[in-house]
């Protein structure tokens, strides 16, 4: 039962941009065993966790989609604050800026600005995404989610499919969700270990690249109209994730010197 509850909590969290699933795994004491068991395909013990995650993702996705449709500007403003605050956890173990890290930060920023062109808006989403894009998005998003401090949902925002997936959840569009699930499984088994090893070896450079990518992709979360009323919502999202990020410095990232 504990694993199911942990899965529900994880499912709730990973739907929200700025929240890192990997950090949740660390805080629950599951991270190191999870990565090791994924490599060895020892998965039986994680089935209750997976079941809870599916419940959490569905409930969180449906509720969040409804709020998004009713209050688009308020929602994206909260998410903008959340996403920008998540940079704290991404760079938690790499505070010093060197020229190599600055280059990676610039490359990530440029990539985020170039890729996150379409504004996030579930009101205009149709869920009509090609299976190939859904599979790639599921694989990359899940692989990134495993990394402590990195919000996997930011990958979906960069690819421009985050709002479409929320829409698919809200209307229970099974086919696109299944394609995304196929990609997620592929990412979990084929990419997560590779990405984790790359992250461990080049932690500082990858962290700064991700930080730039997150900041650049935040352009997709700009409101339609600007008002002082939105400022408290931005601060709320920022403060929530800043506090959350401070609760757990990614242990898997410690000691990076690149």
Closest CA relative to residue 248, chosen from 32, 26, 90: 26
Position 250 scores a pLDDT of: 45
Distances (CA, A) of 121 to 63, 153, 157, 161: 15, 15, 11, 10
Determine the Cα angle at 46 with ends 42 and 47, to 5°.
110
**What are 191-220's pLDDT values in tens digits?**
666 766 777 788 788 888 888 888 887 887
pLDDT per residue as tens digits for the range 124-176: 665 567 888 889 888 888 877 776 666 777 778 777 788 888 888 878 788 88
Centre a 10 Å sphere on the Cβ of residue 48 and count the other Cβ atoms it contains: 16
In the prediction, which pLDDT does 27 show? 60
* pTM tops 0.85, yes or no: no
- The stretches of 93-225 forming alpha helices (DSSP H) are 99-115, 131-145, 153-159, 162-170, 174-186, 192-201, 203-217
- Domain coordinates in residue numbering, the chain: 2-253
pLDDT at 105: 93
């Amino acid at each position: 039962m504990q694993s199911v509850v942990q899965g529900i909590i994880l499912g709730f969290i990973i739907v929200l941009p700025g929240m890192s699933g990997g950090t949740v795994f660390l805080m629950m004491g599951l991270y190191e065993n999870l990565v090791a068991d994924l490599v060895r395909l020892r998965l039986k013990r994680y089935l209750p966790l997976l079941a809870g995650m599916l419940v959490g993702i569905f409930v969180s996705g449906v509720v969040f989609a409804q709020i998004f449709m009713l209050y688009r500007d308020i929602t994206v403003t909260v998410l903008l604050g959340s996403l920008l605050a998540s940079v704290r956890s991404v760079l938690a173990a790499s505070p010093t800026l060197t020229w190599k890290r600055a280059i990676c930060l610039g490359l990530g920023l440029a990539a985020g600005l170039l890729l996150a062109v379409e504004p996030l808006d579930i009101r205009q989403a149709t869920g009509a995404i090609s299976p190939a894009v859904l599979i790639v998005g599921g694989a990359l998003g899940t692989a990134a989610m495993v990394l402590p401090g990195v919000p996997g949902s930011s990958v979906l925002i960069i690819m421009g499919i985050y709002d479409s997936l929320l829409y698919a959840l809200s209307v229970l569009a099974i086919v696109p969700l299944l394609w995304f699930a196929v990609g997620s499984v592929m990412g979990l088994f084929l990419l997560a270990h590779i990405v984790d090893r790359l992250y461990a070896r080049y932690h500082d450079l990858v962290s700064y690249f991700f930080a730039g990518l997150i900041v650049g992709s935040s352009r997709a979360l700009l409101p339609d109209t600007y008002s002082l009323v939105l400022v408290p919502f931005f601060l709320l999202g920022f403060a929530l994730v800043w506090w959350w990020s401070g609760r757990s410095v990614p242990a898997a990232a410690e000691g990076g010197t690149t």
